[in-house]
Copies of this chain bind each other. A is one copy, B any other.
Amino acid sequence: MKFIAIQGEKGSYSEIAAKSYFGKKIEISNSFSFKELFDKVKRKNVDYGLIPIENSLYGSVLDSLDLLQKNSLKIVGEINLQITHNLLSTKKYKSSQIESIYSHPQALAQCSVFLDSLKNVKLIPSYDTAGSSKNLRENNQGKKAIIASKEAASIYGLKIIKSNIQNKKKNFTRFLVISNKPINPKIKRPKSSISIELKSIPGALHKALSVFALREIDLVKIESRPLPDKPFQYLFYIDFIGNLKDQNIKQALKHLKEISISIKIFGTYEFGKFIYN
């Protein structure tokens, strides 16, 4: 039995992702915040943590990125989950009757087209989608609704008022599996992640990307995040194709060190599968 920390309640998208990645025989440790989740993994209260890192419509989950940098945990896996949002309530109201809608800010943003079409509805950001279902069940007053998964509807006994309310059908959230130590399985389609703080020299980022381009290492993603002590200077998160054990990647990182103030290596893992639901 594996113990997996996620952020959110039963029926959350993180739980669906965890079951898709590890299979159903896992014990989930629900966490209120990402910080609590990272702490559980660091203290080895759980075997792994699973965090949302990026949504294909809304972009990176900034808290997850920042906590990866602050903590010295390794990325050991990845999974991409198709997200289908649904409007749920305790009774079978019409969408037009609903007075207020609770959900996670990212879920509200991913359904903005549908939500904009409703008149006089109050949108209330809350800490997670499934947690909102639980609150709705417990404080059942007025014509309130939430946005969550179909799984949350069945767990909390809610009616589906409208299904598939997300802006785009192609809506995926990428989750990372994090652990105390790197894994060493056979990796067929390896992907690696690092972060770098570059020296303040002209063309620094161009030079850093040359390190990869010169060796024909393909970048998958680059994301900048602020350096808190240096206003308007940045840390770069870079995902690339390849295994940290490969000779050309070892050379690339050696080269990168020459032009960096610091490099953090998160690990090599298998490219995430896409799970449709």
What residues of chain A have their CB less than 8 Å away from a CB belonging to chain B? 54-59, 62, 80, 105, 125, 167-168, 170-172, 174, 202-203, 205-207, 209-210, 212-213, 216, 218-226, 228-229, 231-232, 234
Q: Closest residue to A202 on the B side, CB-wise?
A: B218
Provide the residues of chain B in CB contact with A232, threshold 8 Å. 54, 56, 80, 172, 174, 220-221
Query: Chain B residues with Cβ under 8 A from A207's Cβ?
Result: 213
Copy number in this complex?
Answer: 2
Minimum CB–CB distance for A144 against chain B, Å: 16
**Is B57 a contact partner of A226 (Cβ separation < 8 A)?**
yes
Provide the bound-state CA to CA distance between A203 and B213, in Å. 6
B contact residues around A209 at 8 Å (CB): 203, 205-206, 209
Q: Give the complex CA separation of A258 and B213 in angstroms.
A: 19
The complex places the Cα of A167 from the Cα of B66 at a distance, in Å, of 15
Contact B221 A59 (CB under 8 A): no
* Complex CA–CA separation, A224 to B62 (angstroms): 13
Closest to A65 in B: B59
A213 B221 Cβ-Cβ under 8 A: no
- Determine how close the nearest CB of chain B comes to the CB of A53; give it in whole angstroms: 11
Q: A54-B232, A223-B224 are in contact. List 10 more A-B contacts (CB 8 A).
A: A57-B226, A59-B62, A172-B231, A202-B216, A203-B216, A206-B210, A209-B209, A220-B232, A222-B222, A224-B224
